[in-house]
Structure 1
């Protein structure tokens, strides 16, 4: 019998203990007017994580200032149990907060707090305390196994009367779905103030207050990221998410065309626009027709840029979409090969997506890949075309792909924000928000039958800020179509680089790297050589040297002829001007060719005495070439007869080559202490400094092109680009000769596909540089054109346009 009594006492004790634990039920103690609720298993750890997040710890904004002032005392308290923080009037100056946790005698360590005062207050039958510690004042109320800390006296009276408590079934569901081991945040959408709702209106989304009844998400705070994952509940037909009924989410692809310097975009993904629009009409009683192209859409996005906005329609079959667009308008302009169409009647997107997406009506559109892009501005459409052709879109940026990898692959709704630019556009304390360059934020909604998944991330990593992809920094036009490749020319006054280029009227321009035309000078004929930079007087003042049909010209940087020039010939020059500077000491040798004749002149335009090679045995078929191998100088002159003259500085044979060479269109280069080129049989020819000739069958095609320097060998074989034996498979196209640029220990290889108008730049490991290809229609020049550490690239764009990129 005693055993039974003992068992009964143990069971009773356990039961009583369980009752006391269940006396604290946090979800039943939330004020009904709460706008935002934070529930955490470890409040102190949560506060520490907030402090260690770079963005939150370094930034200043009004809400943070107010909450820090109100809740600074929390760092002094001992939290051992699950804790809830409920806020109302959150975006006003008078924030109301209530902290709810389980009763614990050690919660407030009064003995260890120096500056404190405690006053007991009694109102009716309600007794509570007014506490002042470290200049923070709050009210403390204990009831049963619960303790409440609040800055609202009325809140305590309501608690005592068990009034105005949250009874929402959807909140209870959200609470049950939350991970108890993580900090969770709950939003009651109908209570969200206009201040927060206006944030989403700036994203062109007007329906945040009606998105759902409740949203909850787990919060993960990392050093450079803030991540959320959760759900929205109560998604009835009255709520916004009802428009996605009977529609599946889709993968967002807007990043493929969205310029990387965007402000924000808001995207809807769906399996059927017809079903989506039927839900929109039913919800908002709309009676607006929509263009047939939308029947082919799987995604629609509103994209905000600094100078305007666009509507991007992602279609699953572009040819069908083009048929649906046929007859809607006429082409008003072709920009970089893309048609810009003006529609006959403005498309009223604002009515089609009323209360769904705040967007402007559109008058123009263009097509890029699988996207139809509408805008009220032609310049905005040109921005999209430029960014797409330059690979300067979000999808080509590693920081964007890293961000999207944190989200689900498919979305019903997706918001992406360029954090720094968005804060600037709102002009709200942007200088106090410490966003790094390329900091992005994304928020994703994936609709289900009666709830939705939520995923979000704010990324503020320093790695993204350090991204150095190619970026177009300027574009300027001359009066007639460009006829030559553009060349950099150093401005000795600014120590920056200007640009020299000729147009089809034979006008030569010198243009600043900001696009200002210094001068324009008409030449007698097209320039036939590269435009070379020389310092004839060895005083740092530079000149431009080049050849035309009958002349060798030297102009100073003001466009004036230098004394002694031009050198005029009665018969045309048959090869481009070659400029030699053997020891880089500005003792220039200018080499000109007329059929068999070779002329070498000095800085003053006079013939050089002591150069004995005046005439070849047959016509010279390439411009003479200076090559230095080790500490020896060689001059190479190729003859139509197959003879290759390898000369000394004095014009005497330095390397006797007995074999007859079949020359290809390729030049000769110095490579690994030998001379290399190719023959028409598609072999690589190698001539040693002793004159030994060897060939290597590389399996080259007939139209192969090579370039080499020291230890770099590059050749283009149809669509295969070989860089130091590493093969890059390019798309089939019409390519310029590859170009090799060296900067200290760095080699870059550039090549342009004139068919698709893409410029590629690779390093010597055959790796495509970030941000390439970019748009361009000619060979390029690469140099450090300004005072920063980045390189610049210039290239012809449209027929009378010069483009400059930075990378």
Structure 2
């Protein structure tokens, strides 16, 4: 009996202790679940940060990309929110202690048709944390806010509403987690998810990639390829949103470790896909990574490229077809391929795919102006160029016979850049690259192809292919680009899939793909985007998973490099220097140019041709704008050999024009407006050695008294005013003429000399300690200064050829002018004391006079053109080439600001391939 009493007494005491301990412990600790268990299964992106406040304060504050994004509206607002959150947390020591070194996670979900929203997760240490956080939120809510609470699935949910129209947020405490979202519906999904038995962590793909996640990194990002296309497709317009949604069949899950550098954001990690052909990535994993040396034939002015690296193209195609059949998503594609093969009784895959060697790429060059096809190429590396050409001819022969056309009609031989002849093959089968390599290449019609080295290049036209080949002839490829080489240091040397986007040059590409309102937001922030060098995504097969590299690189110096803004195609090769003229209605600049067919064009500053008109011959000399009617409206004035022309901005002649010249011209007209009252005088030299002065109506001016010159005058006349005196100056082969406004001799030089063939007369009138004088060179390159009292002073800086060019300008803002000579392929610059400052050689002769461009005080550059090589040079005042040069172009060029909304300079130049180029220069 005593034993029983003792037993039950001890048992009661022990039970009491256990019950007491249980309830006491429950007061301080809580039943926890892992954050992953609360993430709704429709999450597209899951971000885990291991120290949120440290990440914001230390990593993001020194990252230049993060700083630049702060200038963009929506991202800037998000940054401010994070910074405020960081400051608030640090102000509260208890809250700061809760968050320090702890994981804070975000999941992103599709919301509505095209939107998305997020949930924030924080795992609390004990039950008292919820009171601390609740008190913290109540204390920090702005004035006028309300905080209400309600029950959902037996869990208390708090809803914070802000004054006005500002969107509030909801939060709750459940199973040791603090959850917060702007969407109360999304928050309720997370509450329900905690109670379920199946979550994200139970998905095989997630488990596989989660095992590879790094811990000693700034964070981890998980991507679900089955749901993320639903969010991303909302960024694209209707034409391409469905195409993006097809990416649900790309892979399963990815995990990316986040590494923040001062000038880059790096994401690295693994992607999992199934073992069958359900996911496209499973096809890629069956191939060894390849060294993609296709960069050697991708022009450096490209916008982007997408490349595949494969060790067996026929196997890839068989697996790809099986992949399409599984999903039933390629019925049209497979039907067209079958129709092609049956119509011509061929197997197009067997003809071409065995010839392919390791790599194929879709390349987009500068698509800023004209249509997609003219700037989109498919580039394939072949095992043997000769065998590939043989098989191509065999293929074309079968088609020609079936269609009843001559094979020769499908083959064109044409020189590229007036140099080596290339053979261009017309491809009568629409969208052949897509039929060979898959739907990702199906948007390229590629009506022609050509070969460059061992590469087979598909393009939409012969001019497009010529431009592509010419870029390679000049050596302007990615592999020779230093910026790209530095960027590539972040990437693996071998890969199976490689996507690259040149962000500053991608405006027109984004306009093609993005929703209109989203692209407009991009346009508003274009200056910020121009500081991002590039984005790249690289996939490399590694055992049964794919290793990923994603890089976003910041490089503010990219804006200093000349970049193509647009390219406009004319009917013929460009013949003359493009002139920048003013639209008198808008104040914007427009471009006036002539081609080899004697067509003249006016283009707006976006490169669109406003009008085209054929005239009687080559424009000689400059093109002027005049206010003929003195009403603020401007006309274009210029001369050909036979006529004076005056046109309005619509390309219509004004009354009396064109006017036939009294004698065919030997020079470009000169325009004088002595009193700035728009009573213009037009001076033209004739083949009869007469100098004719016309008024603006085209009539000869009475009282002009010059007799005929000793030789024909080829230089344009110039008018200078020194003090109160007017001087009209020019020269023939031996005599320099200095006249007054009546054509009478005003100054006679004390010495005569043979004038250089390309003589340029320069006035020096404002140099301290030097009297006003004219500078020009003789046939040997000696510089002669003619003072206005007739005195001649000679400076000998060496012997130069008879065809040299001369300029005399203060390049560095020192107050003293430099002597600038271009002779053949040599540029030489001498200081005022005769010492040599610059000596630079070029690979071929410079074919037009040097032009001095002033970017700012003391910052002048020398513009040069090699017509033979179709190259432009911009030489700094220290003799170095300006970054980004040489550029492609064959005519003299103009530099100026053509858009009033920006301070950037534009370089406009013509080419012998029918293109007018607009480069951005800063």
Specify if TM > 0.5: yes
State the Cα deviation string for residues 57-86 of structure 1 (Å, max 9, x = none). Answer: 96769xx9xx99xx99x9897434533648
2:48 aligned partner: 39
Q: Kindly indicate whether residue 119 of structure 2 is the aligned counterpart of residue 82 of structure 1.
A: no
Offset of residue 185 of structure 1: 1.8
From 697, 709, 713, the counterpart of 2:798: 697
Q: Distance between the aligned counterparts of 1:430 and 1:722, measured in 2?
A: 51
- TM-score, normalised by the number of residues in structure 1: 0.71
User: Which residue, 747, 754, 761 being the options, matches 1:654?
Assistant: 747
> Residue 256 of structure 2 aligns with which residue?
217
The aligned counterpart of 2:515 is 427
1:517 to 608, 611, 632: 611
Match of 2:427 in 1: 343
For the residue of structure 2 that corresponds to 1:278, the secondary structure is helix
Residues in 2 aligned to 1:446 and 1:715: alpha-carbon distance in whole angstroms = 54
1:11 alignment counterpart:
none
Equivalent position to 1:248, from 290, 293, 301: 290
How far apart, in 2, do the equivalents of 1:504 and 1:208 lie? 49
How many Å separate the matches in 1 of 2:756 and 2:727?
A: 18
d(CA) in 2 for partners of 1:388, 1:695: 43
Distance change in 2, residues 1:600/1:371 (3 Å): same
Distance across 2 between alignment mates of 1:454 and 1:284: 25
Q: Contact 1:174–1:231 (CA<8 Å) still a contact in 2?
A: no
Indicate the residue corresponding to 1:619 in structure 2.
Answer: 711
- Give the corresponding residue for 1:16: none
CA distance 1:400–1:581, change in 2 (3 Å): farther
C-alpha separation in 2, matches of 1:148 and 1:588: 78
The 2-side partners of 1:302 and 1:473 are apart by 17
Contact 1:482 1:504 survives alignment (8 Å) = yes
- Does structure 1 residue 132 correspond to structure 2 residue 225? no
Question: Are 1:300 and 2:353 an aligned pair?
Answer: no
Where do 5+ consecutive residues of structure 2 fail to align?
1-27, 139-146, 161-168, 181-186, 324-346, 397-409, 811-816, 831-836
Change (3 A) 1:461 1:116: farther
Deviations 1:742-779 (A, max 9, x none): 68857564443333434445565656567765554433
Question: Which residue in 1 is equivalent to 2:822?
Answer: 716
Q: 1:56 to 1:693 in 2, by over 3 A?
A: closer
Give the 3-state SS of the residue equivalent to 1:245 in structure 2. coil
- Report 1:741-780 matches (<5 A): 747=860, 749-761=862-874, 775-780=888-893
TM alignment of 1:66-465, pairs within 5 A: 78-80=98-100, 82-83=102-103, 85=105, 99=121, 101=123, 103-108=125-130, 109=132, 110-114=134-138, 115=147, 129-132=155-158, 134=160, 136-142=170-176, 151=188, 152-158=190-196, 166=202, 171=207, 174-175=210-211, 177-187=213-223, 192=227, 195=230, 214-220=253-259, 226-232=265-271, 240=282, 242-243=284-285, 245-250=287-292, 253=295, 256-257=298-299, 265-268=305-308, 270=309, 273-275=310-312, 277-278=314-315, 281=318, 288-289=349-350, 291=352, 295-296=356-357, 298-301=359-362, 307=372, 310-313=376-379, 315=381, 323=389, 327=393, 330-331=410-411, 341-343=425-427, 345=429, 348-354=432-438, 362-366=446-450, 372-375=456-459, 407-408=491-492, 410-417=494-501, 421-422=509-510, 425-427=513-515, 430=518, 436-437=525-526, 438=529, 441-458=535-552
Q: 1:667 pairs with 735, 760, 765, which one?
A: 760
CA drift of 1:267 comes to 2.0
Listed one character per residue, the Cα deviations across residues 178-201 of structure 1 (whole Å, up to 9, x for unaligned) are 033421123455x64652686999
Counterpart among 783, 794, 801 of residue 685 in structure 1: 783
Q: Given the superposition, is the C-alpha separation of residues 245 and 336 from structure 1 closer, same or farther in structure 2, using an over 3 Å criterion?
A: closer
Q: In the superposition, relative to structure 1, how do residues 776 and 331 fare at CA in structure 2: closer, same or farther (>3 Å)? A: farther
Alpha-carbon distance change, 679 to 186 in structure 1, aligned in 2, over 3 angstroms: same
Name the structure where helix makes up a greater proportion of residues: 2
The separation in 2 between residues aligned to 1:95 and 1:596, in whole angstroms, is 81
**Structure 1 unpaired stretches of 5+:** 1-19, 123-128
1:266 deviates by: 2.6
CA shift at 1:704, angstroms? 3.3
Q: For 1:58 and 1:621, how far apart are their aligned partners in 2?
A: 58
Instruction: Provide closer, same or farther for how the CA distance between residues 796 and 333 of structure 1 changes in structure 2, counting only shifts above 3 A.
Output: farther
SS of corresponding position for 1:430: helix
After superposition, give the CA deviation of every residue in 1:616-642 in whole Å (9 maximum; x if it has no partner): 5x43454464374965765555454x4
* CA pair 684-512 structure 1, distance change in 2 beyond 3 A: same
Q: Secondary structure at the match of 2:356?
A: helix
* CA 131–466 in structure 1, closer or farther in 2 if over 3 Å, else same: farther
Q: Distance in 1 between matches of 2:603 and 2:103?
A: 67
- CA distance change for structure 1 residues 714 and 104 in 2, over 3 Å: closer, same or farther? farther
1:706 to 806, 810, 814: 806
**Residue 578 (structure 1) shift:** 4.2
Take 1:81 and 1:526, find their aligned partners in 2: how far apart are those partners? 75
CA contact (8 A) 1:314 1:371 kept: yes
Contact 1:139 1:153 in 2 (8 A): no
Query: How far did 1:691 drift?
Result: 0.5
Q: Determine helix, strand or coil for the equivalent of 2:848.
A: coil
- 1:104-138 C-alpha deviation (Å, 9 max, x unpaired): 3453214445447597988xxxxxx5343636243
Q: More strand per residue: 1 or 2?
A: 1
Q: 1:98 & 1:504 partners in 2: Cα distance?
A: 65
Matched residues in 2 for 1:550 and 1:357: separation? Answer: 53
**1:370-412 alpha-carbon deviations (Å, 9 max, x no partner):** 8644256789768968999999999999997886665456543
Greater displacement, 95-104 / 711-720: 95-104
d(CA) in 2 for partners of 1:505, 1:167:
67
- Whether contact under 8 Å (2:269, 2:549) holds in the other structure is yes
Structure 2 length as normaliser, TM-score?
0.63
Task: Mark the CA change 1:280 to 1:27 in structure 2 (over 3 Å): closer, same or farther.
Answer: farther
Aligned equivalents of 1:629 and 1:381: distance in 2?
Answer: 52
Distance 1:345 1:516 in 2: 35
Determine if contact 2:739/2:745 at 8 Å carries over to the other structure: yes
Distance 2:428 2:708 in 1: 69
Q: Determine if contact 1:511/1:519 at 8 Å carries over to the other structure.
A: no
